[in-house]
Amino acid sequence: MRKTWRKYSWMVLFFLGIILLFSTSAIAQGAPTAGQKVIRSYETKKYGRPLYQDASVAKGLEEKLENGLDKKPAIKGKVIIFHAGSLALPLYKMERVFEAAHPGVDIVREAAGSRNCARKIVNLHRPCDIMFSSDYSVIDTFLIPAYADFNIRFASNQMVLCYTDQSLFHKKINAKNWYRVLQDKRVVWGQGDPNVDPCGYRTLMVLQLAERYYHIKGLYQALLKNRPLKNIRPKSEALLAMLQSGDMDYAWEYLSVAVQHHLRFVRLPDKINLGNVADNAFYRQAVVEISGKNPGTVIRKVGRAITYGVTILKKAPNRDAAIAFLRYVLDPNGGMKILKAMGQPPFTPAWVPTKSMWQSLPRQLKPEVIVRELASVL
């Protein structure tokens, strides 16, 4: 037994010395820094153990992490945005807040009917970073997959009939008699162009649904008969000036536009205002034919609840800044809060219809977006 101890005692002493050496080193180093904790946690999760035992290498990584040397340069340059006219005021407010936080960025916005926004990209090949549409399906039809990978649904709205104190019968009109007022030969009313502006074809859907809801055969055609073609404008927002000048009595707009411009309006029943997802089955009874993607073609638009969409173009000239701005827009405490305050209900969180589309999102946007199956909203 004594011989055995003598034989192996040097090995025991050697290992005790090694343990003592490492223990002393650990005590001398003190508590791990925040940088050490982050690095060690990452290495342990990915590789099962910390990798950097060399103190100089580890220290360099820790200092780089803690001093922020991994941060990308500040974003700068122009961000070109094509957007639906109904978003003009909310985006203006978001632009001011974002540019104040990022002085090197210049948000350049161009409002038009959503379908015209898409045609600027597809037909005119105009450079664009972000497109906001008042109808998400415009992005699906014109831009995906050739020009964009994803289509984020971020807000809803509803149709209302706007008027002013100068409007004929402004003291009498309400949710029960509006369709009789619009048939009066003395009343001037207008709408957006269905081939250009989603608000335009949604106006026609509202009128079709009203015929079914009120059970009045021929109401749709009777209403259109009292609306001359000259009262159709490329953008529904262009009707606002005519309303405010007294040249027009009534105009079809989105609720958010009415609120933002301090207009009086008739709020319609949910069954016909296109603002309630739960009524999609009823909305689908409305069908409108409009011009297609290519000249000379026609497509059929079927009624559904109003849903806004947004995308970043594949060839966005300033992609990093565009991603940063869109992340701000989708932030519940940022752009979404502004939308809500300005009369437009946001989707919080915003959503996409498939997991594959979610995976195509820039990583910075993924925390703000969820997957929501289409079956749950149709």
Residues 203, 322 within the same domain: no
In a domain, 364, yes or no: no
Residues 199, 173 within the same domain: yes
Give CA–CA dist 93/157, Å, rounded: 19
Residues 150, 109 within the same domain: yes
pLDDT for 373:
77
Cβ neighbours, 10 Å, residue 158? 22
Residues 212, 323 within the same domain: no
Strand partners, 251: 162, 190
- Please give the average per-residue pLDDT across 91-119, as a whole number: 96
Which CATH number belongs to the domain containing residue 281 in this structure?
A: 3.40.190.10
- Tell me the three state secondary structure of residue 275: coil
- Please give the average per-residue pLDDT across 294-309, as a whole number: 94
pLDDT in tens, 162-182: 999 999 999 999 999 999 999
What is the domain extent for residue 104? 77-156+308-350
Residues 319, 226 within the same domain: no
Residue at which a domain ends, from 268, 302, 336: 302
Reference 222, options 235, 239, 207, 243; nearest CA is 207
User: What counts of helices (H) and strands (E) characterise the chain?
Assistant: 16, 14
Residues 152, 163 within the same domain: no
User: Is the per-residue pLDDT at 240 higher than 60?
Assistant: yes
Quote the number of domains for the chain.
Answer: 2
**pLDDT-derived band of residue 60, with 50, 70 and 90 as boundaries?**
very low
In a domain, 34, yes or no: no
Residues 166, 280 within the same domain: yes
In a domain, 44, yes or no: no
Residues 88, 185 within the same domain: no
In a domain, 47, yes or no: no
In a domain, 2, yes or no: no
In a domain, 29, yes or no: no
